[in-house]
Amino acid sequence: MAEKTGVCFPEGFKATGINCGIKKEKKDLAVIISDEPCNVAACSTTNRVKSYSLLWSLKNIKNPVRAILINSGNANVLGGKNGWEITCEIMEKFADVVGVSTRNVLFASTGVIGKPLPQNEILRGIEKLVPMASETGGQDAAEAIMTTDRFPKQIEIETSIKGKKKGSFVRIGAMAKGAGMICPNMATMLGFITTDAVISKIALKKALTDAVNDSFNMITVDGDQSTNDFVVCLANGVSGNRTIHQDTDDYKIFSESLSEVCTFLAKKIAENGEGSDRLIEVRVEGAWSKKDARRVAKNIAGSNLVKAAVTGAWPNWGRIAAAAGSSCTRFDPQKMKIYIGKYTVFDCVSCDIDEKLLRQELSKNKVVIRVILGSGKEDAVAWGCNLTEEYVRINMEKE
């Protein structure tokens, strides 16, 4: 039985996904439509090479948005001289079929770089796709944005905004695609979040930025972003709650729920890294600054050596120490503590833990590495996945 899942969970959103011919058989075209115009907040790649789809969206996120078109199988980047013209034609058609202005639609793409977007397939696909959008199409949409993802990624949260009778509940729903390589290189990441909350544009932007910094940005290494990374949040205000403004109790509640949504999806993406079978969670505590904490956590989670050691269940804490030291100068290595799972493996000296026990910790589906730097009060958590021979095989060959 179809349910209101993912981006369809909040009131007033419809979605669906179909195959339009970019891929052979799998779904490759998705849509999200809101009954009402939405306030929008977004975070996007810092890569100098940006897809035309992203460039289109960045132009429009200041406007009230009504619908998003998403294709997988083609990144719509460096695909030829008339890439921008094709993008505009597709968006004109899309806006027309949805029945809104081109100012009010967004576009996102993921897939192969350097090939022209199959314009005709997408134009025909739009005509079929848009009328099919429904309140139970969240799952289809989540499937249509997948590339090498092993499973679709959705989440739904309902939360109580206190102090109001009508509209005291708001809903957040989301879907994401990641896979790819995750750390340390260019995880093409798309995230679509919908909410029926009434929230000011400024508050929405702040809440999304904070949530993304602690979640999606903690699964990729600084500066290494794909050409298409894009996380967008649409708020259509249908729940009718009192407008959420920054620095209020309501904001805090909304903001925490949004973080929960983003963290859940970020972990799913890391877990789904190509060829990987283990999620690596790196918790860094006692850093001198938040930036230090983030950098150390990401550096450990992104180290090929740490990732390969996890695959072999080899408790080589020296690699963890070296990865920490290479990314931060503000700590004293002799005061550092390193934990693998529940065991202390380094505490000024190497700790004498039975290797069998450590190998068990490193064989779990979720491997937790904790590093206490002892130079301050800032913490951060990063997520990565183990590096396997399968990863190399996948990336040696064409999709």
Catalytic residues: 188
Taking the least distance from each CB to its own copies, the nearer of 240 and 325 is: 325
Q: Which of 35, 59, 62, 80 binds its own copies (CB under 8 A)?
A: 80
CB of 86 to its own copies, least distance (A): 13
Q: Per rule CB under 8 A, is residue 181 in the interface with its own copies?
A: yes
Smallest separation (angstroms) from its own copies to the CB of 293: 14
- In degrees, rounded to 5, the angle at the alpha carbon of residue 322 between the alpha carbons of residues 320 and 328 is 105
Tokens for 54, please give them: 């992203």
Q: Which amino acid is at 13?
A: F
Rounded Cα distance between 167 and 11, Å, is 11
Residue ranges in 237-296 that form contacts with its own copies under rule CB under 8 A: none
Angle at CA 154, nearest 5°, toward 152 and 155? 160
Q: How far apart are CA 145 and CA 169, in angstroms?
A: 29
Question: What sign for the dihedral angle of Cα 96, 99, 102, 106?
Answer: negative
Window 185 to 214, contacts with its own copies (CB under 8 A): 185-186
Nearest to its own copies of 322, 368 (CB atom): 322
Q: Which two tokens stand for residue 138?
A: 């969240």
Q: In this chain, which stretch among 148-156, 165-173, 181-189, 247-255 interacts with its own copies, using CB under 8 A? A: 181-189
Q: Please report whether residue 39 would count as binding its own copies according to CB under 8 A.
A: no
The answer to whether residues 45 and 230 touch, using CB atoms and an 8 Å cutoff, is yes
360 binds its own copies (CB under 8 A): no
Backbone angles phi, psi at 183, to 5 degrees: -60, 145
The tokens describing 206, both together, are 């702040």
Stretch that binds its own copies, among 124-132, 149-157, 183-191, 281-289 (CB under 8 A): 183-191
CB of 306 to its own copies, least distance (A): 9
d(CA 13, CA 134) in angstroms, rounded, equals 8
Residue among 159, 190, 399, 368 at smallest CA distance from 260:
159
Interface pick for its own copies out of 160, 243, 350, 360 (rule CB under 8 A): 350
- When binding is defined by CB under 8 A, the residue of 150, 364, 377, 393 that contacts its own copies is 393
Q: Pick the piece of the chain touching its own copies (CB under 8 A) from 102-110, 197-205, 238-246, 330-338.
A: 330-338
Buried b (16+ CB within 10 A) or exposed e, 293-322: bbbbbbbbbbbeebbbbbbebebbbebbbb
Report, in Å, the least distance between residue 214 CB and its own copies: 21
- Minimum distance from residue 328 beta carbon to its own copies (Å): 6
User: Which residues ranging from 99 to 138 are in contact with its own copies (CB under 8 A)?
Assistant: 112-115
Closest distance of CB 189 from its own copies, Å: 13
Q: Out of 32, 41, 77, 218, which residue is the one contacting its own copies (CB under 8 A)?
A: 77
Within positions 145 to 174, which residues make up the interface with its own copies, using CB under 8 A? none
What is the total count of residues that contact its own copies (CB under 8 A)?
Answer: 64
- What residues have CB less than 8 Å from 393, skipping those under 6 apart? 275
Residue 244: DSSP 8-state: B
Stretch of 58-66, 171-179, 262-270, 327-335 contacting its own copies, by CB under 8 A: 327-335
For its own copies, which is the closer residue by CB, 22 or 323? Answer: 323
- Interacting residues with its own copies between 288 and 317 (CB under 8 A): 299, 303-305, 308-309, 311-312, 314, 316-317
Q: Which residues in the chain belong to E strands, given as ranges?
A: 13-18, 29-44, 65-74, 105-112, 153-160, 169-177, 190-195, 230-235, 279-287, 337-340, 343-347, 349-350, 366-372, 378-385
Q: Which stretch binds its own copies (CB under 8 A): 35-43, 76-84, 98-106, 119-127?
A: 76-84
Interaction of residue 388 with its own copies, rule CB under 8 A: yes
Q: Which two tokens stand for residue 355?
A: 């290797």
Q: Report how far residue 353's alpha carbon sits from residue 76's, in angstroms, rounded to the nearest whole number.
A: 52
Residues of the shown chain interacting with its own copies in the complex, contacts defined by CB under 8 A: 46-50, 75, 77-81, 112-115, 181, 184-186, 223-227, 299, 303-305, 308-309, 311-312, 314, 316-319, 321-331, 333-334, 346, 348-350, 387-389, 391-393, 395-398
